Amino acid sequence: MKNLIIASTSTLHGGDYLEYLLPELENHFNLCTTILFIPFARPGGITHEEYTRKVSAAFAIINKKVIGLHEFENPIEAIEKAEGIFTGGGNTFLLVSQIYKYNILEALQKAIANGTPYLGTSAGSNITGLTMQTTNDMPIIYPPSFDTLGSIPFNLNPHYLDPDTNSKHMGETRKTRIKEFHAFNSTPVLGLREGSWLAVKGADIILKGALTARLFLQNQEPQEIESGTNFNYLQ
């Protein structure tokens, strides 16, 4: 049975890394002593080692050990044997390109389908959707494919921002960009605001956190979705 936490962000304003999620994570990874961390998204260009140390410090608070996937000679075997998996945020194009480089997409899909607890934040959440096409990131590297894990039956737009009516910025809004996506694709897109996450248990995909999310369906007006909603109807 699938068991995922898919969060818009790792850090809320004024908080420490993963701090707001730690109570959820303590329960989510309750049967795990060690978390396998996938550091490939490298936020700000930090090294795999730097990123893993940052994650290790956060998980130490709930008495979990973290090992970076880059430390293993056989990454597929590491995923197959993992007690729990965390994919951190950063650049989604880089993350997906590395997933294909190391040929671990299928291993991740199988681990998640078999119930290995998975946590994704930002880019690590983007890859749980059908494709990475609704990321906000710059295309700093070209992945072989935009196809991702397909652990949920729609796409995500983490860090979703509503238009600021007081801003003088005349560029594209997130709503506009998602509308452009829907000119060529029928996949639903969920805009996840900061501090919101999805709790996936089997076929249930439930919105968590204090805020609403915004659901975009092709050729329809966006819908505000209340916390506690189950998106299993999008299957």
Over residues 67-112, the pLDDT tens digits come to: 999 999 999 999 999 999 999 999 999 999 999 999 999 999 999 9
Sign of the alpha-carbon torsion through 130, 134, 138, 139:
positive
Which residue in the list 8, 125, 137, 151 is annotated as catalytic?
A: 137
Which residue in the list 8, 10, 122, 196 is annotated as catalytic?
A: 122
164 noted as active-site residue: no
Over residues 113-171, the pLDDT tens digits come to: 999 999 999 999 999 999 999 999 999 999 999 999 999 999 999 999 987 667 666 56
Distance CA 135, CA 167 (A): 23
CATH code: domain of residue 65? 3.40.50.880
Helix axis angle for 105-113 and 92-101, nearest 10°, is 100
> 67 is in which domain, residue-wise?
3-234
Tokens at 73, concatenated = 């000679």
Distance CA 225, CA 142 (A): 33
167 noted as active-site residue: no
For the chain, the domain total comes to 1
159 noted as active-site residue: yes
